[in-house]
A and B are shown apart, each in its own frame.
Chain A
Amino acid sequence: MGKVLIIGYGNPLRSDDGFGWHASRLISREVAGHDVEVITCHQLTPELAEPLSQCSRAVFIDADAEGEPGEIHLREVLPQALSSSALTHTCSPAGLLASAARLYGRCPKTVLITVSAQSFDFGDCLSPIVSAALPKVVDRVLEIACPDGGRPEF
């Protein structure tokens, strides 16, 4: 198994939108000694195509505006044709994978883990129901990133 890249993103000052941020910060404390890179950021930017091209697996962690609050969803992400946007703040995981493939000739096997949010209001804390999902997501990502010890790979 090659290098794993974990990207947690969101705005930690907009309550549950910061879920990916909080999750990746917790994960970064647990992956010492493993070939794992953790990136914590406010939003996805085109530069992430480069580190994505250098790993064999990637995990994106984000909050979701859809679904019942606290619900955890995991789905595979495939490279998708570049989306059209005049803005630079609207990169998607699928678009970044396509960018990595286009620019660097490689893109990793990737999953997106999301947790449905309850609130995107101003605030630096997760809502209780979303906070309760945090350890489950951290465990799931660690199973993926550090499969030694019998944890299943994706």
Chain B
Amino acid sequence: MRKIMIDAVTRIEGHAKVSIQLDDDGKVADTQLHVTQIRGFEKFTEGRPYYEMPSITARICGICPISHLLASSKACDAIMSVGVPETAALLREVLHCGQVVQSHALSFFHLSAPDLLLGMDSDPAQRNVLGLLEKFPDIARDGIALRKFGQQVIEGLAKERIHPSWVVPGGVNTPLDSAVRDKILSGLPDAKATVRRTLKFFKGILDQFKEEIEHFGNASSMYAGLVDAAGKLQLYDGGIRFKDADGKIVADHIAGRDYRNFIGEAALANSYLKAPYFKPVGFPDGVYRVGPLARLNVAKSCGTSMADAEFTEFHQRLGKIVPGSFHYHYARLIEALYGLERMEALLNDPAVLGQQIRAHAGVNCLEGVGMIEAPRGILIHHYKVNEEGAITWANLIVATGHNNLAINRSIHQVAQHFVDGNHLQEGMLNRVSAVVRAYDPCFSCSTHASGQIAMHIQLFSPQGSLLDELKSA
């Protein structure tokens, strides 16, 4: 038996490694994704005032701090038992759209485009954003421009690109200046043109990846995403819709406060990443996927014109339910277009310039759940507080956690198809990394297994034989 370690998986957010166990014939026998960080936010926030949670938990991530800021603030809204003013809700969603656009641009252009444009088997020394920049300057310029636009939206509204404190429990802390609104609106045509150009280009190269499309996590699973009352895509609000592998809705419009009736959380050996599953089916068969692909699989439409045209084509080309995880890239680009169109609609609503932007209250409920669609999938913040408002318990379920079981299965499928232990080549292992990248995982965000880590300690002799082992319950 031999073991191959991909340590670390590159061009992802956070740190992870993959182990591939080979049998005596050099074929893949087993695989596992190991998330090797622990963050501990659920524990060290105990005792902190609830209203500090948005700014504390935003530090979980430098890529999607806005997602944590929003989910946390929504949990705090629930603790205060307030509805945020209409203007504040519009502004929060505009901010969220900016976040989705910049994050999707980062994932597609900076992290995955090197595989897609330079080739899975290309020189790893050049297979990165700088190599992309050298050989495909037009694409690189588009990536830079789109990400910059998303960041400018965040900075325009919240004054800082990373870790702003603008979103607060009850709303936001300053109204939108009309000049900022006009500046964002003036940048939208170019941003939309960039995404449409990229979509056209990407659809044109899909045929080059037939083998990857066939084997990159192309397996049945359930899907979960937020939808509005009409079943349309929702990123800021809405309830969870679960669909099974055949596209049948098995649970719908689940409010954040009810998530525990439908989502269980298991712990896996050798990883700090929890493994959520669909509770009515159980663990591990209740595997489901979240994120752009899942959202387009559960929603009946996007609700904006250009994104809906792409949504229709997406399903016409690939089916009513699209099972292949390679198509996360395609779905991500459609969502970037949706984010821009949605932003435009929100900014053209006269109420977005309103001055009533924050509801004030103290603790009116001892428990609160906040839920949004982060760029990578459903994000849930769940807090309990005492009468003074100090956090007594917290639970975070992050998008990459929801995808943990699916990512593990995808790694296994890719490794079994592409990795040959007797003729090992770098491109084989890069495909294993590439399927992880397709999910755009954020492992820095995802490691929330505090208190329930499935510990498995093994003691090996110098010759490699197992001498002893210890497993926690």
Contact = CB atoms under 8 A, between A and B. Distances in A.
Interface of A: 42, 46-47, 49-50, 82-88, 95, 99, 102-104
A88 B110 contact: yes
Contacts of B129: 46, 88
Given A46-B110, A50-B148, A84 B133 contact: no
Contact of A102 (B10, B125, B134, B151): B134
B140 to A, nearest CB: 6
A130 to B, nearest CB: 23
B358 interface: no
B128 interface: yes
Given A46-B129, A47-B148, A84-B131, 18 more contacts: A46-B140, A46-B144, A47-B147, A49-B133, A50-B144, A50-B145, A50-B148, A82-B131, A82-B133, A82-B134, A84-B126, A84-B130, A87-B10, A88-B110, A88-B128, A102-B133, A103-B141, A104-B141
B137 A102 contact: yes
A23 B137 CA distance: 33
A86 to B, nearest CB: 4
A99 B11 contact: no
Interface majority SS on B: helix, strand, loop or mixed? helix
B148 A83 contact: no
B378 to A, nearest CB: 26
A84 B110 contact: no
A34 to B, nearest CB: 21
A42 B61 CA distance: 13
Interface residues of B, number: 24
Contacts of A86: 10-11, 124, 127-128
Interface string B417-445: 00000000000000000000000000000
Nearest to B127: A86
Contacts of A49: 133, 144
A101 B124 CA distance: 24
B255 interface: no
Contact of B130 (A42, A50, A99, A104): A99
> 4 closest pairs, A vs B, by CB?
A84-B125, A86-B10, A82-B130, A47-B144
A88 B130 CA distance: 9
B359 interface: no
Interface of B: 10-11, 62, 110-111, 124-131, 133-134, 137, 140-141, 144-145, 147-148, 151, 162
B17 to A, nearest CB: 14
21 contacts: A42-B162, A47-B148, A49-B144, A50-B145, A82-B130, A82-B131, A82-B134, A83-B130, A84-B128, A84-B131, A87-B10, A88-B11, A88-B110, A88-B111, A95-B130, A99-B130, A102-B133, A102-B134, A103-B133, A103-B137, A103-B141
A83 B125 CA distance: 9
A131 B225 CA distance: 49
A49 B133 CA distance: 11
Contacts of A87: 10-11, 128
Nearest to A87: B10
Contacts of A104: 141
A45 to B, nearest CB: 9
A61 B127 CA distance: 29
A42 B133 CA distance: 22
A66 B200 CA distance: 48
Contacts of A50: 144-145, 148
Contacts of B151: 47
Residue among A42, A95, A103 with most chain B CB within 10 A: A103
A52 to B, nearest CB: 11
Nearest to A82: B130
Contacts of B162: 42
A49 B132 CA distance: 14
A141 to B, nearest CB: 22
B11 A42 contact: no
Nearest to A46: B129
B316 to A, nearest CB: 35
A83 B130 CA distance: 8
Given A46-B110, A88-B11, A88-B110, A103 B128 contact: no
Residue among B110, B140, B144 with most chain A CB within 10 A: B144
B130 A103 contact: no
A122 to B, nearest CB: 13
Contacts of B127: 86
Nearest to A39: B161
Contacts of B131: 82, 84
Nearest to A13: B59
Contacts of A95: 130
A95 B131 CA distance: 12
Residue among A47, A50, A85 with most chain B CB within 10 A: A47
A84 B151 CA distance: 26
Contacts of A46: 110, 129-130, 133, 140, 144
B120 to A, nearest CB: 14
A40 to B, nearest CB: 9
Residue among B11, B129, B134, B148 with most chain A CB within 10 A: B129
Contacts of A85: 128, 130
A11 to B, nearest CB: 10
A101 B137 CA distance: 11
A103 B145 CA distance: 12
B144 A103 contact: yes
Contacts of B126: 84
A17 B145 CA distance: 29
Residue among B10, B110, B125, B128 with most chain A CB within 10 A: B128
Nearest to A95: B130
A111 to B, nearest CB: 23
Nearest to B106: A88
